[in-house]
Amino acid sequence: MSDYQKMWQDLGMDMEQHDMLCQVLPSAVGDVFLSQENRPKSMDFWDLVISEVHGIRPAELIEEQKKGRKVFGTFCVYVPDEVVVAANGIVTGLCGGSQFWVPGGEAVLSKSTCPLIKASVGARLGKTCPFFRIADIYVGETTCDGKKKAYEILGEDVPLYVMDVPQMKRPQDIIKWKDEIATFAKKVEEFTGNKLTVENLNKAIHIINEKRKALARVYNCRKSKCLPISGRDALLMMQISFFDDPERCAKMCNRLADELEERIAKGISVVPEGTKRILVTGTPLAVPNWKLHNIIETSGAAVVCEEMCTGTRYFENLVDETKESLDEQFMALSERYMKTNCACFTPNRGRIDDILRMVEEYQVDGVIDCSLKFCCLYDTEKRAVSQALKAKGVPVLSLETDYTDTDAEQLRTRIGAFIEILNG
């Protein structure tokens, strides 16, 4: 890892603790990613970014801050990046995916809080994540009770703005979300000192749409029977996309998609013919949470799609780029974002329909529905997911896990047995 010691010191990080965190990453990356055979060459970009995940991008963000740009840290695919980008701000994801941060979160949160929230709060309070140190403002949202209360704690020592996400998807809720976006836009203008215009917002909408299209191109390649990329590599690309500059992200994803399309044309697959194809659905897999994909793919199956926030929910559906007033643009944004099907909505039939559609599109043999411990919303929705899939004759395995490795062997038994069923 390059020398970022001074940068981390300047950020006020706990250097001793951070060193411990940095020590575990290289072997994890080696075990999960570098040990794979026949990887696409274009993964070199993400290998580099993940190997210096606390260095490369944070250094860029700090350079941009010196030019007067503001960094917005977000936790949810409902927060509209377009509004921030239009005002020349930068968005970075903040969700924590490591057990390393969980105890720090547990010190202040209810024990029945999901590990993603615990890790995020722990990363902030423990001063061991540069992104949490760099962000000028955090943007929260009301997608679950655990997060709502956690934001109150995070907001104690950092500027924090919370968007009120509707709980239903009636016409009045789409208008309500449009109003929320408009109110957020005012906050962004005030915080960055830059005005939103029809032009800069449409340009931002275009930039983010292009990023979505590039991510979708990679996912499209995963629909092929000849599978050109592993689930682990696709997941890494997806996780990093939350932190990267959106234009570079699009460029890199398109470069990867070019290679994957070529592989498909040449019949180059990363798995033997007949390998069972798994759709993973449920709660997000924040970086560096690779446990589930790693177990599935070292048990003889391949992950071909993630119906998750770190997956299809991030890039499906585009925003209309043809609107000519801010009001219409906010509405266009609301309409796009309200198509994202999160378990925090009721009813949430849209997610079931998405899963059934993706089972067809990605030629899926079996579905693994996995939620983080204490995520009541996704856990409860497992019943509906399982019923709908079974009615269509699609095998499904429901799992619950956290960030620890203590259940890895038990998960391996369940997942192994599930793959044995699929193999018949």
Partner 1 sequence: MIKHFIGLDIGSTYTKTAVINENKELLQLVFKPTGWNGAETAEQVRQELADKGIDLAEAKIIATGYGRVSVPFAQKCVTEITCHGKGAAFVYGKPNLTIIDIGGQDTKIIQVLDGAVNDFVMNDKCSAGTGRFLEVMAKTLSVDIAQLCDLASQGGNTSISSMCTVFAESEVISLIGRGEKRENIAFAVVDSIVKKVASQAKRMITPGSFLCLTGGLSESQYLLNALSKELRTPIASHPHGRYAGAIGAALLALNL
> Given the rule CB under 8 A, which residues bind partner 1?
395, 400, 406-407, 409-410, 413-414, 416-417, 420-421, 424
Q: How far apart are CA 384 and CA 231, in angstroms?
A: 25
Comparing CB distances to partner 1, the nearer of 63 and 409 is 409
Q: How far apart are CA 277 and CA 39, in angstroms?
A: 18
Query: Minimal distance in Å, beta carbon 145 to partner 1?
Result: 22
CA distances to 65, 175, 179, 180, 351 from 327, rounded to whole Å, are 29, 11, 9, 12, 28
Q: Are 51 and 288 in contact (CB under 8 A)?
A: no
Query: Minimal distance in Å, beta carbon 298 to partner 1?
Result: 12
Query: Minimal distance in Å, beta carbon 385 to partner 1?
Result: 14
Q: Are 181 and 141 in contact (CB under 8 A)?
A: no
Comparing CB distances to partner 1, the nearer of 265 and 417 is 417
Comparing CB distances to partner 1, the nearer of 259 and 379 is 379
Query: Minimal distance in Å, beta carbon 387 to partner 1?
Result: 12
Comparing CB distances to partner 1, the nearer of 244 and 400 is 400
Q: Which residues of 131-169 are buried (b: 16+ CB within 10 A; e: fewer)?
A: bbbbbbbbbbbbbbebbeebbebbeeeeebbbbebbeeb
Q: How far apart are CA 398 and CA 120, in angstroms?
A: 25
Comparing CB distances to partner 1, the nearer of 189 and 407 is 407
Query: Minimal distance in Å, beta carbon 211 to partner 1?
Result: 37
Residue 410, class by beta-carbon neighbours within 10 Å (0-12 exposed, 13-18 middle, 19+ buried)? Answer: exposed
Comparing CB distances to partner 1, the nearer of 159 and 395 is 395
Q: Are 233 and 46 in contact (CB under 8 A)?
A: yes
Comparing CB distances to partner 1, the nearer of 15 and 421 is 421
Q: Are 63 and 257 in contact (CB under 8 A)?
A: no
Query: Minimal distance in Å, beta carbon 415 to partner 1?
Result: 9
Q: How far apart are CA 39 and CA 230, in angstroms?
A: 8
Query: Minimal distance in Å, beta carbon 31 to partner 1?
Result: 16
